[in-house]
Amino acid sequence: MKTKIIPVLIIFILGLCSPLLLSQQEVVLTIREGVPAISLALPPFIYDSSSPQAKQAAETIYQVLSDDLRFSRVFQLVPKEHLNYIRPLNPKEIFFKDWESIQARILLVGEIGLSENRMTFEVRIYDVKSERMILGKRYQPEPELFRLVAHRVADELMKLYGEKPYFTTKIVFVSNRDGNDELYMMDYDGANQTRLTFNKWRDYMPAWSPDQRAIVFTSYRAGNPDLYLLYPYEGRLSPVSTKGTNFSGAFSPDGKKIAFCSTRDGNAEIYVAKGDGTGVRRITFNSAIDTAPSWSPTGREITFTSDRTGTPQIYLMDAEGANVRKVSFGGNYLDSPAWSPDGERIAFVSRVNNFFDLYILNLKSNKITKLTETNSRNESPSWSPDGRHVIFSSNMSGSIQIYSIDYDGTNLRCLTQEGENKLPNWIN
């Protein structure tokens, strides 16, 4: 078995020397669904037009940042044509009334330059109404890091408004593009797809640790479906459970525990181990098949699939295995529950008329909403860290690929194209 060591990307970030930066905490605002998106003006970045390298940097960072902000559902970009109604941007003298006149609440100004023969990207973010800068950063990226810089800026904006930053997070998934089911990872938007495992056996059902330093997954590399921990940035692999059939590993929110399904005692039950794979103990005890555990955001409960009433349904239990109760009613095949980061919803798969679609159960109202309706096989839901998006695998295009969709069923996007891709997991 050969494990690929993923190099850590290093980027220089220098805070701009301004006392105004000390006041950025004053504008933190938590966004709630139903609240209008924040209007943000993103004029074209300023750069030396005689430099092809500066032009490439400006265009790449601008496009990726624009896509991030549109995807967020937190920010709404002011239409480009509205910039024609105001005077051209002068970064040395911001005419805030101009930007307020086109209903911009936030202004983001970017400049590409050269410093000591290195490319620099300076970003300044202004609150238009108060006419002050609320964030300033300077980056010195190599060309291969332009996309990462854009994602970092988008994350900074999310943090300013009390939101979970996720544009620099990774999605881990399974692909057969190189002839065998192996683990891969990619950016949230499908870019930078990278192979993680190299062996002749199948690897599948990966799940990130909360700090994205480890992946728990099932592998047949020893001839048996065993559970392993992969540390992709260290190139290290360690076993968790190698007795019986082991699958559906899931880290607790604090990373200190791993829940998984195993037949090590003869029946498919749910077990919990320490975050390093030691100290395995069983928490379900019955003759039914219990599988697919998913932790609540607090770590105090686990949702899972069980056929103890005759057909696979969705259940909840305390993290120690007590207080088991059924939360799904109807349907003859429900599986793959995934608890949302806000703790209020569970996404799951249900088979109806031989089609598999995604549904969302609201735990407060007990209302179930259908998320997909494509006459295909939609499976393996996983939430974004902010709970506004869901990724899943589907054969809606003919081959199995990974898609993302917003929690309300809008903004469907295909993230993979090469080979067949499935079982995605996004850290939350």
Least confident of 17-21, 50-54, 270-274, 410-414: 17-21
Query: In this model, does residue 187 exceed pLDDT 70?
Result: yes
pLDDT tier for residue 20 given thresholds of 50, 70 and 90: very low
Query: In this model, does residue 97 exceed pLDDT 60?
Result: yes
Residue carrying the six token digits 């860290």: 385
CA atoms within 13 A on the CB side of 129: 6
CATH 3.40.50.2300 fits 171-426, yes or no: no
As a residue count, the chain comes to 428
Distance CA 150, CA 315 (A): 40
Query: In this model, does residue 7 exceed pLDDT 50?
Result: no
Distance CA 406, CA 386 (A): 11
Ranges of each domain in the chain: 2-160, 171-426
Query: Quick one: average pLDDT of 282-293?
Result: 96
Query: Quick one: average pLDDT of 261-267?
Result: 96
**334: buried, middle or exposed (CB in 10 Å: 19+, 13-18, 0-12)?**
buried
Q: CA dist 49 to 5, 45, 109, 112, 143, Å?
A: 38, 11, 17, 10, 17
Query: In this model, does residue 5 exceed pLDDT 60?
Result: no
pLDDT tier for residue 8 given thresholds of 50, 70 and 90: very low
Measured from the Cβ of residue 187, the count of other Cβ atoms closer than 10 Å reads 19
Q: What is the pLDDT of residue 353?
A: 83
Structure tokens belonging to residue 176: 């057969």
Share of the chain above pLDDT 70, in %: 92
Indicate the average pLDDT of the chain.
90
Q: What is the pLDDT of residues 216-258, one digit of tens each?
A: 999 999 899 999 999 999 999 999 999 999 999 999 999 999 9
Query: In this model, does residue 49 exceed pLDDT 90?
Result: no
Q: What is the pLDDT of residue 35?
A: 64
Query: In this model, does residue 23 exceed pLDDT 80?
Result: no
Q: What is the pLDDT of residues 51-91, one digit of tens each?
A: 899 999 999 999 999 999 999 999 999 999 999 999 989 88
Contacts of residue 53, defined as CB under 8 A and 6 or more positions apart, other chains included, come to 119, 143
Q: What is the pLDDT of residue 1?
A: 43
Distance CA 219, CA 171 (A): 18
pLDDT tier for residue 33 given thresholds of 50, 70 and 90: low
pLDDT tier for residue 27 given thresholds of 50, 70 and 90: very low
Query: In this model, does residue 331 exceed pLDDT 50?
Result: yes
CATH 3.40.50.720 fits 2-160, yes or no: no
